[in-house]
Amino acid sequence: MKKLSALLLILLLTIGALAACGEQKETVKDEGNSSTEQKGEETAYPVTIKDALDNDVTIKEKPEKIVSLIPSNTEIAFALGLGEQIVGVSDYDNYPDEAAEKEKIGGMEINIEKIISLQPNLVLAHASAMNGTEGLQQLRDAGLTVLVINDAQNFEQVYDSIAMIGKATGENKKAEELIKSMQDKLAEIKAKAGEIKEKKKVFVEVSPAPEVFTTGKNTFMDDMISVINAENIASDQEGWIKIDQEEMIKRNPDVIITTYGFYTDNAVEQVLSRQGWENVNAIKNKQVIDVDSDRVTRSGPRIVEGVEDLAKAVYPEVFK
């Protein structure tokens, strides 16, 4: 099992390094090579797209080989039906199952030589800088087309990411359909949550004791908690923060959500038996639930499923 510190670092980087981002990024716009090109229409190549780093990236033809450097990009690409075109993914990619069969190109440090050897027509990078700007420049210098996808921090920016990858790969229509299905599902969840009369107070743990981190304002997780009509008890703080346990106890959450059960044995039991928390409502009522970290942190197609997971955990009587 990897050391806790390394796992926490990977988790926070995958989320998008939100601890360092106090403000939302502007929506990333893309520019096609035809002013008549509309949403849902087939991409006309060559196409030029303004990526998340404000670079004009020209894609000469529909990519036949794609390398993805981060799980969220990979999940989007698979959801757009690009499984056969994907030839390389990061070490952290575990969804869908087919991703495990692809060549691995590294994790926090990408294997430049390996990526080049795969001869991709398109490399899908990410604005969280998880793989470093120097490595991306090496790929460009080798003649590869690198498209940096935005570090989505809200639902609209997830939709932008999907639209950008759809346009780059010639899958505009599928991207539009995917976005629509996500919007419809999110609207359904919001409508049901809107009927809730008494908000529950929620505390989210993204790492176990003794180094307990939680999610504050200007994070995607905080936005998700708001969507389900619940109150994040740490929303008065910024980004991803190490908690003051005494202060969290005073705020007395009704529900505690953990996201680290995939690498910590008995995550829920550890919280339920935590010394000093005996009088917290969530502990007394055994309302401690572990959710799938990937579904609530990866800014891809499954993020709406993650919202539903949170809704079922916090309001099981409403979201059965």
Burial 81-91 (b: 16+ CB within 10 A, else e): ebbebbbbbbe
pLDDT surpassing 70 at residue 320: yes
Q: Is the peptide bond between 96 and the residue preceding it cis, with omega within 30 degrees of 0?
A: yes
pLDDT in tens, 6-65: 444 445 444 443 333 333 333 334 444 333 344 557 889 999 999 999 999 999 999 999
CB proximity list for 29: less than 8 A, separation 6 or greater: 50
pLDDT in tens, 224-268: 999 999 999 999 999 999 999 999 999 999 999 999 999 999 999
Domains in the chain and their CATH numbers? Answer: 47-179 (3.40.50.1980), 196-314 (3.40.50.1980)
pLDDT in tens, 160-207: 999 999 999 999 999 999 999 999 999 999 999 999 999 999 999 999
**Average pLDDT value for residue range 100-127:** 96
Q: What is the pTM of this model?
A: 0.86
Vertex 219: Cα angle to 166 and 152 (nearest 5): 15
Cα–Cα nearest to 298, from 54, 2, 6, 14: 14
pLDDT surpassing 50 at residue 279: yes
Q: pLDDT class for 129, splitting at 50, 70, 90?
A: low
Strand arrangement of the beta sheet that strand 201-205 belongs to: 231-232, 201-205, 255-258, 288-290
Q: Which residues pair with 48 in a beta bridge?
A: 58
